[in-house]
Amino acid sequence: MFMLKDLFTNVKHVVFSLLFPENCRGCGKADVLLCEECLALVPENHENPYKNVWSIFPYENRLIRKSIQDLKFKNRKEFAAPLGAALYEYLIDLLADENLFSGNCGKVTWLIVPVPLSKERLKTRGYNQAGLIGQSIVDKDKSDIFIMDNSVLYKRHETVSQVEIKDRKRRLENLKGLFAVRNAQLIHKAHIIVLDDVVTTGATMREAMKTLRSAGARKVIGLSVAH
Ligand SMILES: [Zn+2]
């Protein structure tokens, strides 16, 4: 029965996206690709996948997976707004729960650092999807809690896809020295949220976080839309 329901939901999503490409992929509502109501129905992950890394939604969820894939590979930048809005709400709760809002000296500003693409990838895609999601978090934020910087962390070279390397040790070697920091004064003692669309093995995220910590950040957490 459950399988049938799943199948029905999948077919519904496909039909909506084919017939109404500008409508919500979940319910067909007009003028929004992913509506708040449909996002609210997606079950959230209960646990953080890695230490100091949080991830809201399960990547197996078709609506989430398709939204991220379209944002990334089909130039559907509009998906960044609803995903960023969901992350904003999530972050507000998270920072309150974890008591991460205030430091020793009052209000903390969090610097969002999107996981960078290589120069080549950025050129072919034309945008960094994590940067678009980050911008949408900043746009939602009326209390100046979040700011974003797209350039402080950069990727030195393209890597072999992490998923293709089965051996854990080789995966980690593949990432060593992958990221570097420019204008380190921007992150000196900063509170940083490293942001990505998807965290899979977590190795890329951890490498980015490590690079920022070594460059002088005070507190670094990781965040992604899906895991
Ligand atoms: Zn909807």
Residues of the chain with pLDDT under 50: 104-105
Task: Give per-residue pLDDT as tens, 85-142.
Answer: 999 999 999 988 776 655 544 578 999 999 999 999 999 999 999 999 999 999 999 9
pTM of the model as a whole? 0.86
pLDDT at 160: 64
pLDDT at 2: 55
* 85 CA → ligand 1 middle, Å: 15
As a whole-number percent, the residues of the chain with pLDDT over 90 amount to 69
* 13 CA → ligand 1 middle, Å: 10
- Distance (Å, whole) CA 49 – CA 202: 8
* 227 CA → ligand 1 middle, Å: 22
The domain spans of the chain are 35-226
Asked if 220 and 153 count as a contact pair (C-beta separation under 8 A), the reply is: no
pLDDT at 138: 98
Q: Which residue has the tokens 């708040």?
A: 36
Q: How high does pLDDT run on average in the chain?
A: 89
Query: In whole angstroms, what separates CA 75 from the centre of its chain?
Result: 16
Instruction: Tell me the three-class secondary structure of the chain, residue by residue.
Output: CHHHHHHHHHHHHHHHHHHCCCCCCCCCCCCCCCCHHHHHHCCCCCCCCECCEEEEECCCCHHHHHHHHHHHHCCCHHHHHHHHHHHHHHHHHHHHHCCCCEECCEECCEEEEECCCCHHHHHHHCCCHHHHHHHHHHHHCCCCCEEECCCCEEECCCCCCHHHCCCHHHHHHHHCCCEEECCHHHCCCCEEEEEEEECCCCHHHHHHHHHHHHCCCCEEEEEEEEC
* 87 CA → ligand 1 middle, Å: 17
* 120 CA → ligand 1 middle, Å: 35
Look up residue 221 and give its amino acid.
Answer: I
Look up residue 60 and give its amino acid.
Answer: E
pLDDT at 40: 94
What CATH class has 35-226? alpha beta
* 182 CA → ligand 1 middle, Å: 41
pLDDT at 100: 63
pLDDT at 103: 52
pLDDT at 1: 55
